[in-house]
């Protein structure tokens, strides 16, 4: 499944402008044969927008979800994107996957909030594994800091995730996560991991880019630089099946020894 990663911070504070950026990227991705376009954490509104997070937050089935469903249908590709989700008086840092037919397939709420900024504005989610079937692959969702917890990714592996989408807002000086940790997560859990970042300065944060789609062999299939960029790579189910057959990590686990972890 050809997957496009939109490395962009969009236009912080403007949902309308970010929808335009997403629409343009969807057109380029579809023209390149992509079946899936993934955008970064909080792409819909911007990340470093402070009190505007609550003001711009929308329900999972809100107007922006409808607009993105229309974009997905018009370009005939699935879209995953980050946004602030409002559920009553509660706001979550969420990611949603919408199919090429415009159907809402999965909605995930970030379970591990990073730093005081996120804890001041969001409530953590409670469901670690959220998945959907897409083009014959099991696609999972998590957000940024979540992927840095090995238990989180292993839970996806045990639940059968083939391609893990990780919208992120990775900032300086933590670029080693994109460079080193994400390919290791893909290898040790025998899955594809698509880590799609913001880029450039936004408020107090300097986002480092380096978006990557890593394969189950730990090799980056594509990697962006530090600027805004659209990169593409294939998640190959056949290669994944062969890699899982050859790599015994999941089969050789001894869960009875790990009870102290929980």
What amino acid positions are annotated as catalytic residues? 41, 110, 144
3 state SS for the chain = CEEEEEECCCCCCCHHHHHHHHHHHHHHHHHCCCCEEECCCCCCCCCCCCCHHHHHCECCCCHHHHHHHHHHHHHCCEEEEEEEEEECCEEEEEEEEECCCCCEEEEEECCCCCHHHHHHHCCCCCCCCEEEEECCEEEEECCHHHHHCHHHHHHHHHCCCCEEEEECCCECCCCHHHHHHHHHHHHHHCCEEEEECCEEEECCEEEECCCEEECCCCCEEEECCCCCEEEEEECCHHHHHHHHHHCCCCCCCCHHHHHHHC
């Amino acid at each position: 499944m050809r997957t496009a990663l939109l490395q962009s911070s969009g236009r912080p504070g403007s949902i309308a402008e970010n929808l335009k950026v997403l629409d343009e990227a969807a057109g380029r991705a579809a023209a390149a044969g992509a079946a899936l376009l993934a955008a970064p954490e909080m792409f819909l509104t911007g990340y470093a927008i402070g009190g505007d997070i609550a003001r711009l937050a929308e329900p999972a089935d809100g107007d922006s979800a409808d607009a993105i469903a229309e974009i997905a249908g018009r370009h005939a590709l699935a879209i995953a994107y980050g946004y602030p989700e409002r559920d009553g008086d509660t706001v979550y840092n969420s990611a949603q996957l919408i199919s090429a037919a415009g159907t809402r397939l999965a909605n995930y709420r970030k379970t591990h909030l990073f730093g005081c900024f996120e804890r001041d504005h969001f409530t953590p989610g409670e469901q670690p594994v959220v998945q959907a079937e897409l083009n014959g692959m099991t696609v999972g969702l998590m957000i940024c800091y979540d992927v840095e917890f090995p238990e989180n990714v292993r839970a996806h592996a045990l639940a059968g995730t083939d391609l893990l989408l990780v919208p992120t807002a990775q900032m300086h000086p933590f670029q080693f996560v994109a460079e080193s940790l994400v390919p290791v997560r893909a290898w040790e859990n025998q899955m594809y991991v698509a880590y799609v970042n913001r880029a450039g300065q936004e408020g107090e944060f300097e986002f480092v880019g380096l978006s990557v789609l890593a394969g189950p062999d730990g090799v980056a299939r594509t990697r962006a630089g530090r600027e805004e960029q659209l990169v593409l790579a294939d998640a190959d189910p056949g290669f994944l099946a062969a890699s899982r057959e050859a790599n015994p990590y999941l089969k050789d686990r001894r869960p009875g020894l790990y009870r102290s972890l929980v």
